Amino acid sequence: MVSDNIKAREMPSSGSSDSQGWCPPQQGFLKVNVDAAFLDGRATAAMVVRNDQGHLLYLASKLYECVSPFAAEVEALGWAMEYANQCGWRRVGWETDAKEVERAVNAREDPSCWYSYYSMCNIRKCIAMQDWKVIWRSRRCNSVADAAAKLSLSTERPFVFDEFTFKNTDNCLDYSNVGLDEVLTSSQNYDSLQIILLTFVKFPTSTHVQNVFHNFEL
């Protein structure tokens, strides 16, 4: 089973944003949810990018080798931030469901994990330069990134989807009258998300979809 031993299991308090699931960022901002899955030295990272209307703009995963769940989560966050920097994104909110990573990123003392030392330093440098902030949220709020990371690890396939790719899903999948944006924001539709991603991974339905699979290397 994919390791979750660094994921916080605190129940959100009544009335908190966590109890309501994923929430859009403030106007004019993007929100990036990041997660990692780890099993026997193999890991996957996943990032999910949405705008202030809750529309999915980008979803990607990456395969790599790693020594621990903590190092896998750090690598995932660093990978996503590097991509955001390359895209020139400035107004970004970051969310992770790995509380130990959130604490380490925001700590003042030097990173304590040798295996992720340089990755953590680079993350902190990005945060300082861009004035970004990394916030912990429960898995309920991070369910899309969580599902994408676990699916990518179980199928051993990295993938990249953008907003145009997902527009093709209406022609090949039945959501039982549930809109795609709702599927991608509600933790109650976790199984539907798995079906959507698995359909693209195993049964590409268009030339555009066939071209979105990328072979990442660490």
CA distance 122 to 119: 5
What pLDDT is recorded for position 46?
A: 96
**Does pLDDT of 217 surpass 60?**
no
Beta bridge partners of 170: none
CA distance 44 to 80: 12
**pTM to 2 decimals?**
0.75
Number of domains in the chain: 1
- Does any domain span residue 114? yes
- Does any domain span residue 2? no
- Does any domain span residue 6? no
CATH code, 157: 3.30.420.10
Lowest mean pLDDT among 96-110, 171-185, 188-202: 171-185
Q: Which domain covers residue 36, as residue numbers?
A: 26-210
Within 10 Å of residue 136's Cβ, how many Cβ atoms? Answer: 20
- Does any domain span residue 1? no
- Does any domain span residue 21? no
**pLDDT of 140-162, one tens digit each?**
888 888 888 988 898 888 888 88
What is the per-residue DSSP string for 105-171? HH-SSPP--GGGHHHHHHHHHHHHHHT--EEE--GGGGHHHHHHHHHHHHHT---EEEHHHHGGGGG
- Does any domain span residue 66? yes
* Residue with more model confidence, 132 or 188: 132
What pLDDT is recorded for position 198?
A: 54
- Does any domain span residue 10? no
- Does any domain span residue 30? yes
